[in-house]
Amino acid sequence: MFKIMRGAGGERVFRAATITALALLALFFFSIIISLLTHTNWDTFIRALVSEEILFAIRLSTTTATIAAIISILIAVPVAYAISRNDFPGKDLVDSLLDLPIVISPVALGAALLVFFNTPVGSAINNNVIRFVFAVPGIVLAQFTVISALAIRLLKSTFDGIDPRYEQVARTLGCSKPEAFFSVSLPLAKDGLIAAVILTWARAVGEFGATVTLAGATTLKTETLPTAISLSLASANVEKAIAVIFVLIIIAIIALLAIRKLIGRRYQI
């Protein structure tokens, strides 16, 4: 089949095929947004948007996502650096283990966390240290569990792209190993770091499966934006659901624009 596509004619057919795929996908997403817009009653939309419940969900989602993103980045930086720069027995196994949260369903992760807090150790933590189950810290933990793997993956590819010789040269210029990391590798990783912060934060805002399983879906208590969509649809309040969907779309657009604005096209996700 590929033989008959040789020459300029083949090139045109191939180009048309790839552009058609792109156009179809763009049309698919565009249709979804149009259908949302046509289903929206703007008065109801505005009323839903400024309702106490949605404003609470926005505040809760952004706060918990910010905390989860900060914690995950603080942990992902050393973990990603360690995996990127060191060879050790079982590295592939550890690397694959850290990818698990990306491939496992978030509901399964939430259920696993719930099971953990039913063990003696988990139960002791939940009862005596911080209450996670059906509580706000549970939202942060669920978001952290889901997004940490993403943060590690993004930062590992960033550190992989930084030539270790920058640090070596810094060390011959008088830097200790930690000084070389902070004064050379981290500034070199700036673009990747910014992208990782924004993307993990945006992913945390949109996290639903693990959150609802561990923290529950109690209105004005553990109701995040995705939980609000689920609760609104469950009570057949479509306008409210659409209002929240638009909030999530706006947050996603702001996140992607922020990446473009801050680091331009230098960082390819």
Closest distance to another protein from the beta carbon of 174 (Å): 3
In whole angstroms, give the CA distance from residue 111 to residue 109. Answer: 5
Q: Which amino acid is at 207?
A: E
Contact segment (CB under 8 A) with another protein among 177-185, 198-206, 231-239, 252-260 equals 177-185
Question: Does residue number 168 form part of the binding site for another protein (CB under 8 A)?
Answer: yes
Binds another protein (CB under 8 A): choice among 63, 171, 216, 252: 171
Question: Does residue number 179 form part of the binding site for another protein (CB under 8 A)?
Answer: yes
H-type helices in 104-176, by residue range?
Answer: 106-116, 120-124, 136-160, 165-172
In this structure, the number of other CB atoms found within 10 A of the CB of residue 69 comes to: 27
- Residue 61, CB-side half-sphere exposure with 13 Å CA sphere: 28
Closest distance to another protein from the beta carbon of 96 (Å): 25
Cα–Cα distances in angstroms (integers) from residue 208 to residues 140, 200, 238, 249, 250, in the given order: 12, 14, 18, 15, 17
Question: Does residue number 165 form part of the binding site for another protein (CB under 8 A)?
Answer: yes
Question: Does residue number 175 form part of the binding site for another protein (CB under 8 A)?
Answer: yes
Closest distance to another protein from the beta carbon of 191 (Å): 10
Question: Does residue number 85 form part of the binding site for another protein (CB under 8 A)?
Answer: no
Binds another protein (CB under 8 A): choice among 9, 78, 161, 187: 187
Closest distance to another protein from the beta carbon of 21 (Å): 36
Question: Does residue number 10 form part of the binding site for another protein (CB under 8 A)?
Answer: no
In whole angstroms, give the CA distance from residue 32 to residue 30. Answer: 5
Closest distance to another protein from the beta carbon of 259 (Å): 19
H or E element, residue 26: helix 7-38
Q: What is the C-alpha radius of gyration for the chain, rounded to an integer number of angstroms?
A: 23
Closest distance to another protein from the beta carbon of 266 (Å): 11
Contacts with another protein by CB under 8 A lie at 163, 165-166, 168-177, 179, 183-184, 187-188, 190
